[in-house]
Structure 1
Amino acid sequence: MENGLFDQFRIGDYLEHHAKSFPTRTAVCDTRSSLSYSELAEAVDACARAMHAANILPGDRVAVLAPPRVEALITFLAAAKLGVIWLGLNPKYQLNEMDYIVSDAKPSLLFSIDTLEGRNYREDAQKLLRAHSSIRCSVGLESDDIWDVGFSDWLVEGSRKVQETEKFAAAIEAVPLSTPALLVYTSGSSGKPKGVMLGQRELLQRSRTQNEQFPVTPYPCVLNPLPINHIGGMHFLTLYTFVGAGTIILTEKFLPDEFIGAIKNKKINILYILPTMFQIIAGRPEYSPEMLDNLQWFVFSGAAMPMEFVNQLFRSKCNVGLTYGMTETCGSVTYARKSGDNQEVLFNSIGAPTPPGEVRLMNETGALCKAGESGEIQVRAEFCMRGYFNRPEATAEAYTDDGWFRSGDIAKLREDGNIEFVGRISEMFKSGGYNVYPREVELALEEHSDVQLAAVVGIPDPLYAEVGWAYIIPRDGVALEADALKEWCAKRLANYKIPKHFVFESELPMLPVGKVDKARLKRGHEETLAH
């Protein structure tokens, strides 16, 4: 697609365009249903009419409690057409987590599943409805007995109430490109989660850039297991594919064998994945590196890929790419791609600012970093978040006086223009007065051929203030020893960076987005000490 033709498109405009241009192409599917672009447009139109009939107005919020499913995408696109802000609730949330987010976002409408993997959500949803008067209507995605209405009936009733009137058409036409589309709550590593408002203009611009960087012929087909409350699931996979008029295959959770089957059977032509997920896939007996030749692109993000797998990817015929971004930047802002023998770039860096000038590194004195110098990654504000929901002070603090978003990530500028990620300021810990960035230590550990995965956290220590604890998943059938790993680290790291303790596990707690749950590791350590 030529960007100039679509720069002023809103999300709803893309849907209308795709429905006319590719009416029979599969737009989205899950294990329950499959919709072509014309069918998706029809369902979204009915959903938008129903929202309009329920007096859901621009700027209102609608919440969806569900795994990645077709209904979630329908509600998101319908909300976007009306300028309504869409909020995903992760089924992995406990009631207190859902209660906090709902109390903060104050949605007017709640869509909800009944059950998932043996858990019953009906009681939790009813508690939310009783506790929060902002929710004027509840819609059951799987039944209608305890809800105000079931999803199918709600669409039919809404369509009957709102005919194709000038008022309805005018409501859609009046939605500006600048309107927020997504409300994503950050993990809250530095306190309670904050709602990040992501605008249509910014999300679509990042998606167009992503399509330019990773072009697929004739169109992208992507398998998406990431939760609907996450920027990765809704933008990095879904909106990228949607903007590219591709096919989105939704799956309710990450299943390595499902990915292997999709690659082998050529159901997907681009694989977007976190390195931890790929390491799990590569450990399955059904996996073989040769299957990567079936892909046009292999793209990873969220963490560094171990060199063993980078080399494997370079031996394959598929293109390889990586990106860096975060929720507040509305998507990826640096990119790198396989080119010749540049394995080192994809292993050691997060790529270069894309487009040029989108990212800068600032040192502690407030000056631009020179090559070889470390500083904070800052992103040009133009295509970043619309702000933190109802938190003007936090929004102001997130930006510099000259209009750049402060990422809270530390990185080093290289001579070749690429950027080396050092670590999160919030994850950094001080050991004996020295700054230690866990990711640097993890990369050194994961270079060991017998280490499958490493996670390092800072734990309070009476002598050093904090020391590193390394949680290790060894390769299958391997017995690792702490002394051997300490010796390994000593050849690669300054002594203050070497973990003081090593814990060997067959698995580590994971977040729904495929990253190690380090907060849970710390809690587990504290609970052990308490007993």
Structure 2
Amino acid sequence: MESVPGWGTLPRMLRAQAAAYPDTLVVDGPVRLTLRELREQAAAVARGLMALGVGPGDRVAVWGINDAAWVVHAFGVWDAGAVIVPLSSRYKGFEAAEIIAKTGAEVLVTGPGAGGAVLADLLPPLPVLRHVIVPDGVRRAATLTASELAATGEGDTGERDVEARALAVKPDDLCEIMSTSGTTGTPKGVMLDHAQVLRGYWDWAEIVTLGPDDRYPVIAPFNHGFGLNAGLIACVLRRATMMPVGVFTPDALMALVESGKVSILAGPPTLFARLLDELDRRDWDVSSLRVAICGAASVPATLITRLVERVGLERMINAYGLMEGTVVSMTRAGDPIEVIATTTGRAVPGIEVKIVDLEGKEVPAGERGEVLQRGYGVMRGYWGEPGKTAEAIDAGGWLHTGDVGVLDEAGNLSIVDRKKELFIVNGFNVSPAEVEALLLREGSLAQAAVVGVPDDDSGEVGWAFVVPRSGVRVDGEELRAWARENMSNFKVPKRVIVVEELPANPNGKTDKIALRRMAAGDIS
């Protein structure tokens, strides 16, 4: 594998790429940007931020849907030597305010939300904020527009100052504070530095074979580690053309794949299940697609098999990563279909993986346990929370992921569940992911999600929320009857709820907290 070039930092990487390939199109959509234009516009943003008093290591929050402005402002933050704090465009005002206050971000760059409204309008009064940057054409009290920010500090002196600041950034300086999804409590701020992000996503892109001829819709939100690092940054690293997707809908994505000649597509299982539904409804032209990357805590084997057979891809890649550990494992070229369908592949270079039992002892190949990871990709810690950092990363440098997995004899890693999502029925441990995979074998379902629900008789029972395949009618009791015929009795869901779609959290994964709330409301 080719080693990452010796850029060391994101500002140096952008400058090197723009100098060597100035006219390469790196952003396509309503606004198109070449590498030269991205570098020039990012430097103007950095100059404006510096004029506002942003210094090295200061935090700058960015809040908006995926678009070209987000890309420019991200690189502007890094050029200024600052740390980006991405905020989910799904946040309400108080959720955004909590992250801003927690990280001490004094500048907020904000754009439109999914509905088109300017997100800054949702923000409650926040004393820590000194400046709010809004899109052009929007005027609010105590704000600057994006153009006004870029015009601040113009002149030769400002340009020299930006270059000096950008080149002074060090590889071990923080570049991101990423919020965890918050599915297990208050979101924590994951700290990542320039060097580990550059190496992690250079290697990721090489395994994916992402290159200058590729057209890649970035569907995962830029506020999430995958959207920002395996999307925005990876495209600039490899000179691929990113196509920021602000609001995902299955039919709009299919139209983009067809008209935009998309070659790389990445996302959680829910995205690909919807894609297959669209192909069942209409004969879309997806012949330009050559690589698909599907990664999550668990990926149904039937979903991957259907994708390979239906779309006719050159490569189907399964991968595993997490906010705190960047890229952990990936399948490789030449892996047989059963490896791609049932595992997330082998650890990437520079990363170690082991599986341990409840006492922390390593288990033999083929046995379940918690996935531990060590290497360059492990986060620097949680922002302002040394106690929680120590709980997550032990004295030996191992990150305790909270995921339950199995390593086979060849080192392929299978993620079978979240440690905290297991529930107990009559004394038996039940893995929601296992039950979901079994339900999908029945054939009538596009998606399934299982959660544990308190029960007076059994302690806990499983409830399954299922989405039928396009044009298929699903009866919950008939599905339970099939489950009784094909599963151990303690795995059979007590209730099957048929829904049109599963709720998703800001990272695009199924929101099981929302499903538990739905179940609790039904019980009460």
Q: Do the structures match in fold with TM over 0.5?
A: yes
Deviations 1:74-122 (A, max 9, x none): 1111211232111122221112212221221221101122565154534
Supply the distance in 2 between the matched residues of 1:314 and 1:283 (Cα, whole angstroms): 14
How much does 1:391 deviate? 0.3
Supply the distance in 1 between the matched residues of 2:204 and 2:54 (Cα, whole angstroms): 32
1:180 equivalent in alignment to 2:174: yes
Contact 2:65 2:113 in 1 (8 A): no
- Aligned twin of 2:23: 24
Contact 1:413 1:420 in 2 (8 A): yes
- Aligned twin of 2:39: 41
Q: Greater shift after overlay, 115-124 or 137-146?
A: 115-124
Supply the distance in 2 between the matched residues of 1:400 and 1:289 (Cα, whole angstroms): 51
* 1:307-318 mapped onto 2 (5 Å cutoff): 307=302, 309-314=304-309, 316-318=312-314
Q: CA 1:95–1:163 in 2, change beyond 3 Å: closer, same or farther? A: closer
TM-score, normalization: structure 2? 0.93
Matched residue pairs, number?
521
Q: CA 1:270–1:477 in 2, change beyond 3 Å: closer, same or farther? A: closer
Contact 1:219 1:244 in 2 (8 A): no
Q: CA 1:230–1:312 in 2, change beyond 3 Å: closer, same or farther? A: closer
Supply the distance in 1 between the matched residues of 2:214 and 2:237 (Cα, whole angstroms): 10
Supply the distance in 2 between the matched residues of 1:404 and 1:3 (Cα, whole angstroms): 24
Instruction: Specify which of 143, 147, 151 is matched with residue 152 of structure 1.
Output: 147
Q: CA 1:123–1:79 in 2, change beyond 3 Å: closer, same or farther? A: closer
Instruction: Specify which of 209, 212, 218 is matched with residue 215 of structure 1.
Output: 209
Which amino acid is 1:353 matched to?
A
1:329 equivalent in alignment to 2:329: no
TM-score, normalization: structure 1? 0.92
Which amino acid is 1:156 matched to?
A
Supply the distance in 2 between the matched residues of 1:264 and 1:188 (Cα, whole angstroms): 35
- Say which SS state the counterpart of residue 56 (structure 1) adopts: coil
- Aligned twin of 1:474: 468
Contact 2:211 2:238 in 1 (8 A): no
- Aligned twin of 2:9: 10
Q: CA 1:290–1:169 in 2, change beyond 3 Å: closer, same or farther? A: closer
Which amino acid is 1:390 matched to?
G
- Aligned twin of 1:237: 231
Supply the distance in 2 between the matched residues of 1:217 and 1:291 (Cα, whole angstroms): 22
- Say which SS state the counterpart of residue 111 (structure 1) adopts: strand
Deviations 1:409-442 (A, max 9, x none): 0111212321221100121112222221211111
Which amino acid is 1:84 matched to?
A
Contact 2:211 2:240 in 1 (8 A): no
Gaps of 5+ in 2: none
- Aligned twin of 2:424: 430
Gaps of 5+ in 1: none
Supply the distance in 2 between the matched residues of 1:235 and 1:106 (Cα, whole angstroms): 23
How much does 1:11 deviate? 0.6
Deviations 1:329-371 (A, max 9, x none): 12x211114637x222122212111127522212223222211
Contact 1:114 1:142 in 2 (8 A): no
Q: CA 1:421–1:10 in 2, change beyond 3 Å: closer, same or farther? A: same
Instruction: Specify which of 108, 111, 114 is matched with residue 110 of structure 1.
Output: 108
Supply the distance in 1 between the matched residues of 2:250 and 2:50 (Cα, whole angstroms): 41
Contact 1:226 1:253 in 2 (8 A): no
Contact 2:113 2:119 in 1 (8 A): yes
- Say which SS state the counterpart of residue 278 (structure 2) adopts: coil
Contact 1:7 1:205 in 2 (8 A): no
Q: Percent identity?
A: 27
Deviations 1:156-215 (A, max 9, x none): 1232495234x5443323211111111111122332111111211111111111122111
RMSD, matched Cα: 2.3
- Say which SS state the counterpart of residue 344 (structure 2) adopts: coil
Contact 2:215 2:242 in 1 (8 A): yes
How much does 1:406 deviate? 0.6
Supply the distance in 1 between the matched residues of 2:386 and 2:211 (Cα, whole angstroms): 43
Contact 1:322 1:351 in 2 (8 A): yes
Contact 1:333 1:355 in 2 (8 A): no
